[in-house]
Every structure is written in structure tokens, then in C-alpha cells.
């Protein structure tokens, strides 16, 4: 590793420096300089050695360990991050170099790619992020150690998706879209299944993710999960693709998901699609379900949707200029707002296309917050967008 150690600085050189300045009055300052220089070299060597020790500990972590070993591994990994953060400026170049070395190996250590890649991406600069992304995209997501640390994989992917690197969409397709694994977010006591992980990952990527998701609807293995995700992040532009997936599969599970999308995100076009279908084209469970909800589909309108916002606290009447300021603030605050009622948007004189565009941008920002509160805010926003789609203004 080319580790800096005392052997790199012979004792004779240090003693000579001290002897030379004995004839001058500045001997004390020079001595302090020499001591400080020697101390800094020693500290750098100590940090590098400790960094390598922490990496060795990470490499030693194995999946499937018993509870005692797992607890020990977790403490070691927590201690490693604490050390890395406390010595961030010194440690980052070392970690980046070690990550580059690991990536060149025929069989890299998956936990080093995942854990160190995550740290480097989170705390490094743009050059660090490039190698960290390479590490993420190189992770063998089927490895036992990665599956055992799936929460970290999700968090790391969420970071990268937030920066909207197009490569991350393919990675999510491969890693999360088909998964049956779940992750727990302890800060919010929130458990995410495969669908909700997809919602946060495609959601934080932004509106462009919808076009990408639509291309996956033709795969019957993925269609249900894709439709479930589009309920949260979709728009009327996906109505025809969802309809084709519904007709291609014709089963109850796909039918109920497609209905949810059409009625929650499809606007008037989605409603018209559901009213035009022939229920006999689907299985008996779908026919029974459709018979129960047909009346609700027929009754969906702007006025019916708007009633759902009655009584929500906040300012319900704002000038157009003030509302624009509030929308800008919502975007900056990742969708958080405790002053504005949704009715203020519905009462606005601003064009509905502008309002829908702004709300869609704000919705993407909400997915930065991995919490049940964020999911509730997204649901309200989606209902608001859907209501505006029914508006005649």
C-alpha cells in the first residue's frame, strides 16, 4: 500500500536537523516544526493503518452468522463509519483508492463495494461519486451478504437515484423491481416492500421515470409491480400502456391494480377507459369486482373529488403570486407545507397545466423523505393532481 511509516524518515535525518540549528536563536521554533512534521507524518500513518484495519474487518463479515457474530459485525461496521467520519478528509482518498483496487479484482468483496461505495458517495466530491457509482452498479445483488444488507443497498441506490443518473434506472429494474425482499426504516418505524421501494426509487428520479417504467409493462413478470408503482408516480400518459397490460393478462390481480391506476392517476381518460371495458373479457373475480365498483367509477368527477379536501387546515384562498411563492417553497422544503390547504390550489386562477406541472415536480421532491409522512403527502398530492385533471379551467 506504500504506507507512510517511520522507516520512510531515517532517524539520522531528524537528528541532523536538530544539530544544525543549535548555533542559532531560532532553534526552538525549528524544533517545534520538526516535531510537528514528524507528528503529522506519524498521524497520517496511523490513520492509514487504522483505515486498512477497518477495511479488513469489513472484508471479514460473513452472511448467515449467528446472533452474537452478527452483533459483533454490526458494531465493527458502525465503528468503522464513526472513524471514517471523524477523519473524513484523510480517509476519503484512501477509501477511493481501495475501492478502485477492489473494482479491478475478478471477485471483489461485495460488502466493500456496497459499504465503502456508500460512504464515499455520501461524503465525497464529484470524482469520488463516480467511482462510488461504479461500485454500486458492480455489486452482485444476489450475493448472500448483499441480501443480508439490503437496507443499505436500498439507501445507496436512493442516493444515486436522487442525482438522476440514467444508469440507475437499469439498476433498479434489475435489483428492486422484481424483489420480494423488504427493508425496515427504523427512524420512522416504516417497512417497505418491493413496491414501496420502487415508489421511492423511481419517484425520486423524477417524472422521466414514468416513460421508462411504461416499457416494462409488456413483461408479465413485472407488470403488476410496475402498475402498482405507476399508481404513485404515473399520469394519464400511461393509460394506454396500462390498458394493454390489463388486456394482456386478464386476471384479477392485474385488473384491480390497473383499476386503481386508472381512477387515481389516469384522470378522465382513465375513467373513460374503465367505463368502456367489457367485464366479460376478464376472469370471474374481476367481473365481480367490477360490478361492485362500477357505480363509483361512474360517479367520479371534479366535484366529487374536490369534496375530499373540505376541512383540511390551511389557507384556502391566496393570490396567484402568493400561491406561486408557496409552491416554490414546497419544492425547496421537499414537499413540506403546513400553511396551505389543497383548496387554495383548486381555487387558484393559475392554469391547471402549470399547477399540475408544479405539483408533479414537488411530488418528486417528497420522495427524498423516506417516511410514512412523505407517502401521505404524495397521496394527497396525487389526489390533487387527479382532481385538477377533471377541472374545466
Q: What is the pLDDT of residues 67-120, one digit of tens each?
A: 888 888 889 889 999 999 999 999 999 999 999 999 999 999 999 999 999 999
How buried is 128 (Cβ within 10 angstroms: 0-12 exposed, 13-18 middle, 19+ buried)? buried
Q: How many whole angstroms separate alpha carbon 263 and alpha carbon 242? A: 12
**With 60 as the cut, is the pLDDT of residue 198 above it?**
yes
Backbone conformation region of residue 124, classed left if phi is above 0, alpha if psi is from -120 to 50, else beta = beta
Q: What are phi and psi of 315, to 5 degrees?
A: -65, 125
Q: What is the pLDDT of residues 240-282, one digit of tens each?
A: 999 999 999 999 999 999 999 999 999 999 999 999 999 999 9
Of all residues in the chain, what percent carry a pLDDT higher than 90?
A: 80
In this predicted structure, what is the pLDDT of residue 20? 35
Q: Model confidence at 63, in pLDDT bands (50, 70, 90)?
A: confident
Q: What is the pLDDT of residues 119-177, one digit of tens each?
A: 999 999 888 999 999 999 999 999 999 999 999 999 999 999 999 999 999 999 999 99
For the chain, the domains span: 1-148, 207-300, 309-389
**With 60 as the cut, is the pLDDT of residue 370 above it?**
yes
Lowest mean pLDDT among 10-24, 65-79, 314-328: 10-24
DSSP tag of 251: S
Distance of CA 392 to the CA centre of its chain: 36
With beta carbons less than 8 A apart as the criterion, state whether 256 and 263 touch: no
In this predicted structure, what is the pLDDT of residue 45? 63
First to last CA, the chain: 68
Closest listed residue to residue 366, CA positions, set 374, 354, 358, 357: 374
**With 80 as the cut, is the pLDDT of residue 22 above it?**
no
Amino acid at each position: 500500500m506504500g504506507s507512510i511509516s517511520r522507516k520512510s524518515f531515517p532517524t539520522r535525518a531528524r537528528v541532523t536537523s536538530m544539530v544544525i540549528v543549535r548555533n542559532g536563536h531560532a532553534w526552538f521554533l525549528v524544533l517545534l516544526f520538526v516535531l510537528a512534521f514528524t507528528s503529522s507524518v506519524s498521524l497520517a500513518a496511523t490513520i492509514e493503518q487504522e483505515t486498512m484495519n477497518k477495511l479488513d474487518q469489513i472484508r471479514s463479515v460473513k452472511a448467515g452468522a449467528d446472533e452474537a457474530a452478527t452483533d459483533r459485525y454490526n458494531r465493527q461496521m458502525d465503528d468503522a463509519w464513526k472513524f471514517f467520519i471523524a477523519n473524513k478528509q484523510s480517509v476519503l482518498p484512501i477509501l477511493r483508492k481501495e475501492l478502485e483496487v477492489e473494482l479491478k479484482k475478478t471477485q471483489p468483496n461485495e460488502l466493500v463495494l456496497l459499504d465503502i461505495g456508500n460512504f464515499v458517495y455520501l461524503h465525497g466530491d464529484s470524482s469520488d461519486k463516480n467511482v462510488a457509482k461504479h461500485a454500486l452498479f458492480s455489486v452482485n445483488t444476489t450475493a448472500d451478504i448483499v441480501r443480508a444488507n439490503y437496507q443499505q443497498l436500498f439507501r445507496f441506490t436512493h442516493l444515486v437515484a436522487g442525482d438522476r443518473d440514467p444508469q440507475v434506472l437499469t439498476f433498479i429494474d434489475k435489483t428492486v423491481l422484481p424483489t420480494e425482499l423488504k427493508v425496515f426504516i427504523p427512524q420512522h418505524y416504516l417497512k417497505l416492500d418491493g413496491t414501496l421501494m420502487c415508489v421511492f426509487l423511481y419517484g425520486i428520479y423524477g417524472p422521466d421515470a414514468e416513460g421508462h417504467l411504461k416499457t416494462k409493462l409488456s413483461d408479465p413478470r413485472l407488470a403488476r409491480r410496475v402498475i402498482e408503482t405507476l399508481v404513485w408516480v404515473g399520469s394519464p400518459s400511461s393509460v394506454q400502456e396500462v390498458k394493454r397490460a390489463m388486456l394482456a393478462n386478464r386476471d384479477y390481480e392485474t385488473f384491480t391494480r390497473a383499476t386503481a391506476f386508472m381512477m387515481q392517476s389516469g384522470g378522465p381518460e382513465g375513467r373513460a377507459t374503465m367505463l368502456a371495458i367489457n367485464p366479460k373479457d376478464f376472469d370471474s373475480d374481476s367481473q365481480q369486482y367490477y360490478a361492485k365498483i362500477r357505480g363509483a367509477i361512474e360517479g367520479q368527477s371534479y366535484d366529487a373529488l374536490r369534496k375530499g379536501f373540505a376541512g383540511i387546515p390551511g389557507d384556502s384562498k391566496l393570490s396567484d403570486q402568493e400561491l406561486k411563492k408557496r409552491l416554490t417553497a414546497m419544492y425547496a422544503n421537499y414537499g413540506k407545507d403546513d400553511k396551505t390547504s389543497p383548496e387554495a390550489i383548486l381555487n387558484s386562477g393559475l392554469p391547471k397545466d402549470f399547477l399540475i406541472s408544479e405539483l408533479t415536480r414537488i411530488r418528486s421532491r417528497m420522495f427524498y423523505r423516506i417516511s410514512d409522512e412523505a407517502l401521505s403527502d404524495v397521496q394527497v398530492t396525487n389526489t390533487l393532481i387527479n382532481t385538477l385533471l377533471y377541472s374545466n379551467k
